[in-house]
């Protein structure tokens, strides 16, 4: 599962050929969430502050995330997305 960003101890990854809807995975220690790119629906458990950071990053990078999703569907190399600053 390719890593596309890392910030504040959070790793963002996207699976190749993951099933719809478009999504990405965030990992923080023993926690993991899946976030739907278009709706922002969160599945899983994450500490509140870390989840807030991931959701802010998601909002700032939605177009780049959708582009990476399309690339992942075709097993193309994914672009790194800048971390949350």
Q: Taking all residues of the chain, what is their mean pLDDT, rounded to a whole number?
A: 96
Neighbours of 36 (CB within 10 A): 15
Alpha carbons 63 and 70: distance in angstroms, whole number: 11
Given a cut of 90, whether residue 5 has pLDDT beyond it is: yes
Q: Domain coordinates of the chain in residue numbers?
A: 1-46
Query: Which residues, other chains included, contact 26 with Cβ-Cβ below 8 Å and sequence gap of 6+?
Result: 10, 11, 12, 13, 32, 33, 34, 35, 46, 50, 54
Structure confidence at residue 25 (pLDDT): 97
Given a cut of 90, whether residue 85 has pLDDT beyond it is: no
Query: What's the pLDDT band for 18 if we cut at 50, 70, 90?
Result: confident
Q: How far is CA 11 from CA 49, 50, 74, in A?
A: 15, 11, 22
3 three-class SS: strand
Structure confidence at residue 1 (pLDDT): 81
pTM, two decimals, is: 0.94
């Amino acid at each position: 599962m390719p890593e596309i960003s890392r910030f504040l101890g959070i790793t963002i990854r996207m699976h190749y050929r993951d099933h719809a809807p478009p999504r990405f995975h965030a990992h923080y220690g023993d926690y993991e969430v899946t976030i739907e790119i278009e709706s922002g629906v969160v599945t899983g458990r994450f500490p509140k502050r870390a989840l807030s950071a991931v959701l802010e990053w998601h909002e700032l990078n939605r177009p780049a995330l959708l582009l990476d999703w399309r690339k992942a569907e075709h097993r193309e190399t994914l672009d790194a997305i800048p971390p949350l600053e």
